[in-house]
Amino acid sequence: MKTVLITGGAGFIGSHLCEFLLDKGFKVICADNFVTGDEKNVEHLKDKNKFVLINHDISKHITIDEPVDYVLHFASPASPIDYQKIPIQTLKAGSLGTHNTLGLALAKKSKYLLASTSEVYGDPKESPQKESYWGNVNPVGPRGCYDEAKRFSEALVTAYHNIHKLDTRIVRIFNTYGPRMRKEDGRVVPNFINQALKNKPITVYGDGKQTRSFCYVSDLIDGIYKLMMSDINEPVNLGNPDEYTMLEFADMVKELTGSKSELVFEKLPTDDPKVRCPDISKAKKELSWEPGFKLEEGLKKTIDYFK
């Protein structure tokens, strides 16, 4: 039986990953300090004898007494509303947290996977974004604490791979949605759904013509597992390449919820990306992975959760 440590394991994506790997027969050690994660997300896993929950801030040194085969570093605030409120903790999760987990993986001779983000591309000047694109990031802007934390994480993981020969993976996660997202997450999916369910005005930033792509969480988890089991050491994009404007997305949410909400327009936040769409050619070719859920199908499941 293989053992995996998942930092941020009580978060939205982390909790689905814990569940998935338990079902695959792994022993799962979940570490979270519940700053943005929620213990309720893994409550149903506590009675499983292969699941261990640790309350731990990964920016501090971590010790695991038993062998660890895989270290998956997912601990970090990921929503602008969160990381702009706690920028220093966000930077620590991406720097000290990455350093601590890499050190543990090196000591345990574990395979290591970093949860990076499409935000390393910033407000991109090319679309769709390929892994070879270096990005357009403002290091001192309101999103810099998250963007640069993840860019530093990628650089540190790469250095450990090159210098210490650590077996590493980097996944660049694009917009993902599904059950267990937080109601007050601040991102577009929970915002639109909860506003629509209450027939409150749906808040659209800018002119609503900026685009996003949306990957259902189970598709993402499948891709992460395939990357984890692969031999790919370079960054890999995982996301859904189908692009929607915010206006199109709002109309779909209204239709699926039967909402009478009207749209209200507010100023576009500073450095908010105008486009966000993954080029997943690498994942298709090297992992035989591509998302299967259509947006409408995944949204219905997500709406049911928020109801």
By annotation, the residues acting in catalysis are: 146
Find the length of the chain. 307
CATH homologous superfamily for the domain 3-176+216-241+277-287: NAD(P)-binding Rossmann-like Domain (3.40.50.720)
pLDDT band, very low/low/confident/very high, at 243 (cuts 50, 70, 90): very high
Which one, of 215, 212, 230, 122, lies nearest residue 170 by Cα? 230
Compute the distance between CA of residue 70 and CA of residue 97 in angstroms, rounded to an integer: 16
Percent of the chain surpassing pLDDT 90: 93
pLDDT band, very low/low/confident/very high, at 269 (cuts 50, 70, 90): confident
Using DSSP, state whether 100 is helix, strand or coil. helix
Compute the distance between CA of residue 249 and CA of residue 271 in angstroms, rounded to an integer: 21
**Is 90 exceeded by the pLDDT of residue 273?**
no
Q: Which amino acid is at 32?
A: D
Compute the distance between CA of residue 79 and CA of residue 175 in angstroms, rounded to an integer: 11
- Residue ranges of domains in the chain: 3-176+216-241+277-287, 178-211+243-276+293-306
Give the model confidence (pLDDT) of 84-119 as tens digits.
Answer: 999 999 999 999 999 999 999 999 999 999 999 999
Compute the distance between CA of residue 208 and CA of residue 158 in angstroms, rounded to an integer: 37
What is the reported pLDDT for 184? 85
Using DSSP, state whether 166 is helix, strand or coil. coil
Q: What is the mean pLDDT of the chain?
A: 96
Give the model confidence (pLDDT) of 111-160 as tens digits.
Answer: 999 999 999 999 999 999 999 999 999 999 999 999 999 999 999 999 99
Please state the separation of Cα 197 from the chain's center in Å.
Answer: 25
Structural contact between residues 224 and 215, judged by C-beta atoms closer than 8 angstroms = no
Run of H or E residues at 176: strand 176-177
What is the reported pLDDT for 165? 98
Q: Which residues contact 151 (CB under 8 A, 6 or more apart)?
A: 120, 135, 137
Give the model confidence (pLDDT) of 180-203 as tens digits.
Answer: 999 888 899 999 999 999 999 999
Structural contact between residues 129 and 187, judged by C-beta atoms closer than 8 angstroms = no
Q: Which residues contact 85 (CB under 8 A, 6 or more apart)?
A: none
Note the CATH architecture for domain 178-211+243-276+293-306.
Alpha-Beta Complex (3.90)
DSSP string, 49-85: TTEEEEE--TTS-----S--SEEEE--S--SHHHHTT
